[in-house]
């Protein structure tokens, strides 16, 4: 039953993240005005704004002008709900569950905005850092020293990679947004998980580049790193210990 409620919460948060991803890069308010069809500007009634269900009932079209509703909307809602459920299923109803779900919501929205705009927004990173500090004051989840060195590790490793990339490729390989993103994630994760997550993020991005090269024969001009970093940070915040233990069991001689 609780799992079902967490799933519903995930649908609702996913719906909110759709609003964030649409409005934040355009510097629009998140709460005002109410949701409207971007095509005919008719306000969307509450009964047409139910995650996933409304999309299915309306067959993916605006009730008023029949313009197509982007399929990304229900997909983001579903993915958020499924990930929320997985986190709850694995971690249970612990005091840390809100922290995990909050972190996850940030990772999803940062990844989506980076995919859409190629940017990681300072406003979002500042909010994520501010909430991390407040949460850690109220319900400590990481030592302050570890959090601060984690920030340095995140920023430092990204900065080093940006520097090396510029030397080797003779062009900007990653943006300063990635550096700041890794610093803020480092606050939540601490030193070693941040470095490991950044490494995993780069490996995933590299694989994605190879796959897209094999499929399209040419590279898209810009591959956003944010989604891969977000995936790595999420995995390591939740399952850093398990991944570390698995790695050690693989490299240790029998």
Identify the residue among 23, 64, 91, 96 touching Zn ion (CB under 5 A): 64
Does 34 interact with Zn ion (rule: CB under 5 A)?
no
End-to-end CA distance of the chain: 44
CB of 162 to Zn ion, least distance (A): 43
Does 40 interact with Zn ion (rule: CB under 5 A)?
yes
Structural element, H or E, at residue 148? helix 144-169
Task: Give the Å distances, CA to CA, from 65 to 43, 62, 104, 241.
Answer: 12, 6, 35, 51
Does 44 interact with Zn ion (rule: CB under 5 A)?
no
Does 45 interact with Zn ion (rule: CB under 5 A)?
no
Does 69 interact with Zn ion (rule: CB under 5 A)?
no
Does 37 interact with Zn ion (rule: CB under 5 A)?
yes
Identify the residue among 39, 61, 123, 145 touching Zn ion (CB under 5 A): 39
The span of 36-44, 130-138, 194-202, 231-239 binding Zn ion (CB under 5 A) equals: 36-44
By C-beta, is 62 or 183 nearer to Zn ion? 62
Q: How far is the C-alpha of 21 from the C-alpha of 9, rounded, in Å?
A: 18
Candidates 154, 147, 204, 193; CA nearest to 177 is: 154
Q: How far is the C-alpha of 239 from the C-alpha of 252, rounded, in Å?
A: 20
Q: What is the CA radius of gyration of the chain?
A: 20
Does 62 interact with Zn ion (rule: CB under 5 A)?
yes
Q: Which residues here bind Zn ion, judged by CB under 5 A?
A: 37, 39-40, 62, 64-65, 67
């Amino acid at each position: 039953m609780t799992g079902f409620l967490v799933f519903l919460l995930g649908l609702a948060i996913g719906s909110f993240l759709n609003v964030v991803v649409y409005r934040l890069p355009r510097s629009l308010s998140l709460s005002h005005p109410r949701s409207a069809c971007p095509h005919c500007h008719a306000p969307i009634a509450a009964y047409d704004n139910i995650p996933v269900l409304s999309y299915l009932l309306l067959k993916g079209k605006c009730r008023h002008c029949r313009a197509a509703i982007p399929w990304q909307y229900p997909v983001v809602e579903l993915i958020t709900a499924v990930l929320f459920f997985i986190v709850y299923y694995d971690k249970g109803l612990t005091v840390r569950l809100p922290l995990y779900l909050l972190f996850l919501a940030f990772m999803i929205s940062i990844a989506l905005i980076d995919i859409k705009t190629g940017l990681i927004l300072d406003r979002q990173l500042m909010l994520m850092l501010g909430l991390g500090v407040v949460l850690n004051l109220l319900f400590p989840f990481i030592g302050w020293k570890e959090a601060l060195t984690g920030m340095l590790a995140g920023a430092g490793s990204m900065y080093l990679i940006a520097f090396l990339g510029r030397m080797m490729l003779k062009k900007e390989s990653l943006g300063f947004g990635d550096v700041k993103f890794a610093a803020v994630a480092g606050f939540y994760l601490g030193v070693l998980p941040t470095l490991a997550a950044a490494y995993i993020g780069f490996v995933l991005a590299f694989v994605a580049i190879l796959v897209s090269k094999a499929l399209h024969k040419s590279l898209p001009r810009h591959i956003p790193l944010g989604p891969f970093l977000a995936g790595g940070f999420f995995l390591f915040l939740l399952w850093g210990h398990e991944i570390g233990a698995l790695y050690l069991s693989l490299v240790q001689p029998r």
